[in-house]
Amino acid sequence: MENIDLIESFSDFKDNKSIDRVTLMSILEEVFRTALKRKFGSDDNFDIIINPDKGDLEIWRNRVVVADGFSEDDNEEIELTEARKIEPDFEIGEDVSEEVKLIDLGRRAILALRQNLISKIHEHDSTNIFKQFKELEGELYSAEVHHIRHNAVILLDDEGNEIVLPKSEQIRSDFFRKGDAVRGVIKSVELRGNKPAIIMSRTSPEFLVKLFEQEIPEVFDGLITIEGVARIPGDKAKVAVDSYDDRIDPVGACVGVKGSRIHGIVRELGNENIDVINYTKNEQLYISRALSPAKVTSVEIKMYEEEKDGKKGRVSVLLKPEEVSKAIGRSGVNIRLASQLTGYEIDVQREGLEEEDVELTEFSDEIEAWVIAEFKKIGLDTAKSVLDKDVTELVKRTDLEEETIMDVQRILREEFED
């Protein structure tokens, strides 16, 4: 046959190892049949023979011989005189197979065919990549920094697949250079148009879980289970662990001698402080452990009839005065993580509250709740604890304006004057 070398020119997909031979032949036939329909109105009477390995293509049109002047469909019927130009011994009623040259389709049709073919190949590749990464959602993955933008880092894996690490999914201390290897979990995979959008995360709790599985053999083997994770990425995390084998100390196994096992995880997370605690179904004990390093005196739980904002109930925790700031933590981080981990709203109460002192919550009619929460974040939960502090110090330690703090202190003073 006359070789147009059309398939040979498609080197960008012909040698694509992600497409098996059967799939490639199917795509090629689909594209060529589309071109034939445009040219002849139907492709039902065409045979297409493709050998993508050699770059060979044959197209044959099958028609029935009819008497001269009796052809009703030039695509499916051929008049006797025309048929005998192909073979002189053809008779009426016989089938004629005639080869169609690609060049007969016209230059414009060939260009459109090529564009359609490339589009189909890319669509096939995108579908395969989407399926591949959809199965990897939640799994640990590594890729190399290719390009750094103001709102995201673009990564490429060993296969050249593009993975996006948005700014919102980066730990605040993360700093990358071109060529750096980056680890995270595949958070989501979506098809946007015909292109898969693969999003990586380093801030999700799943990333911490996967690092535990990778760094701690007992977790990987299932001897130790992770029952809960709460994170403020790059700052602090709490992980609740358990073991069905009484001979294994789950906390000790995760931390290692002098923190040897958890050190690699901490370093990967930008020195994120990780508290590992023993999980228990005893919820009062679990809440007490979640508030570590503070030592809790007592826990009183009030369950909600229905969950509110993902919380099962409200807890009143009683602590000695010196333990309050530990329970709350710097900027309220510790108590916030304990709440996330246990699923309860937690209120901290100071043990042995002076008779003449008053809890800040008693002023909720005059002081907005978010203002009271700001004071609680730094361990100030009573009127006197706020009055004992200098305004300048409170401005530095909270997100409150000086005017707001002075107004709060005025309200508190009036209470004691009364």
Burial class of residue 306, CB neighbours in 10 A (0-12, 13-18, 19+): exposed
Percent of the chain with pLDDT over 90: 38
More confident residue, 102 or 157: 157
pLDDT interval class at 251 (50, 70, 90): very high
Residue 112 lies in a domain: yes
- Residue that terminates a domain, selected from 177, 203, 229: 203
- Mean pLDDT for 251-280 is 93
Residues 293, 342, single domain; the answer is yes
Residues 234, 253, single domain; the answer is yes
Q: State the pLDDT at residue 331.
A: 78
pLDDT interval class at 175 (50, 70, 90): very high
Residues 86-128 have pLDDT tens digits of 888 888 888 888 888 777 676 676 677 777 777 776 776 777 7
Using an 8 Å Cβ cutoff, are 62 and 97 in contact?
Answer: yes
Residues 17, 126, single domain; the answer is yes
pLDDT greater than 60 at residue 362: yes
Residues 66-76 have pLDDT tens digits of 888 888 888 88
Residue 2 lies in a domain: no
Residues 72, 172, single domain; the answer is no
Q: What is the CATH number of the domain that holds 236?
A: 3.30.300.20
Q: State the pLDDT at residue 388.
A: 83
Residue 47 lies in a domain: yes
pLDDT greater than 50 at residue 11: no
Q: What is the DSSP string of 194-227?
A: TEEEEEEESSSHHHHHHHHHHH-HHHHTTSEEEE
More confident residue, 141 or 117: 141
Q: What is the CATH number of the domain that holds 68?
A: 3.30.1480
Helix (H) or strand (E) holding 109, with range, is helix 107-134
Residues 173, 113, single domain; the answer is no
State which amino acid sits at residue 230.
A
Residue 1 lies in a domain: no
Domain hosting 209: range is 204-273
Residue 308 lies in a domain: yes
Average pLDDT, the chain: 84
- Mean pLDDT for 207-227 is 94
Residue 56 lies in a domain: yes
Residues 403, 389, single domain; the answer is yes
Per mean pLDDT, which of 77-81, 127-131, 208-212, 333-337 is the most reliable? 208-212
Q: State the pLDDT at residue 273.
A: 93
Could you count the other beta carbons within 10 Å of the beta carbon of residue 120?
Answer: 17
- Residue that terminates a domain, selected from 131, 157, 175: 131
CA distance 63 to 83: 9
Helix (H) or strand (E) holding 57, with range, is strand 56-66
Q: What is the CATH number of the domain that holds 177?
A: 2.40.50.140
State which amino acid sits at residue 263.
H
- Residue that terminates a domain, selected from 221, 256, 273: 273
Residue 57 lies in a domain: yes
Closest CA to 213 of 180, 241, 172, 175: 241
**Overall number of domains in the chain:** 5
Per mean pLDDT, which of 55-69, 241-255, 315-329, 364-378 is the most reliable? 241-255
pLDDT greater than 50 at residue 2: no
Q: State the pLDDT at residue 3.
A: 38
Residues 71, 170, single domain; the answer is no
Residues 142, 171, single domain; the answer is yes
Range of weakest confidence among 288-297, 381-390, 400-409: 381-390
- Mean pLDDT for 385-413 is 88
pLDDT interval class at 129 (50, 70, 90): confident
Range of weakest confidence among 52-56, 127-131, 235-239, 371-375: 52-56
Q: State the pLDDT at residue 195.
A: 81
Q: State the pLDDT at residue 329.
A: 85
**Radius of gyration, alpha carbons of the chain:** 36
Q: State the pLDDT at residue 22.
A: 67
pLDDT interval class at 199 (50, 70, 90): very high
Percent of the chain with pLDDT over 70: 89
pLDDT interval class at 1 (50, 70, 90): very low
Residues 229, 247, single domain; the answer is yes
Q: φ, ψ for residue 127 (rounded to 5)? A: -65, -40
Strand segments (E) across 220-295: 224-232, 236-243, 273-278
pTM (2 decimals)? Answer: 0.64
Residues 249, 319, single domain; the answer is no
Using an 8 Å Cβ cutoff, are 334 and 236 in contact?
Answer: yes
Residue 148 lies in a domain: yes
Residues 295, 314, single domain; the answer is yes
Residues 80, 180, single domain; the answer is no
